[in-house]
Amino acid sequence: MTRAFALAVAALTLAACTSVPAVPEQVTVVVEKYRDLPSWATAALAKPEPIDGTVEGRVRSHDQRGTTIDLANCHRHLLAKLDKGEAVDKQECER
């Protein structure tokens, strides 16, 4: 690639980036479906305890992180069932 060609490509790229599209000041969004979320879906999940530097501490923290992720995934699946109109039991995630 010649130097002139590289400079031409760079100039065209910069010229294309100088124009900024207009951003609307107000955006209206219509909410077609609204429902209250159950309290278990909005509760804060447990955070893993800090790692104390030992192998056991790291393993324990890793296991707790995995448990928290599993619980969040279970809640996500239960919310998907709720969206479909199916009955759910919060205890499904506690097993």
Average confidence (pLDDT) per 10 residues, the chain, 95 residues: 78 69 86 83 83 83 88 92 88 80
Which pairs from 77-85 meet CB under 8 Å and 24+ separation? 78/41, 79/37, 79/41, 82/35, 82/38
Which residues are CB-contacts of 87 (< 8 A; sequence separation ≥ 6)? Answer: 81
- What pLDDT was estimated at residue 77? 93
CA atoms within 13 A on the CB side of 9: 6
Domain ranges within the chain, ordered by starting residue: 54-85
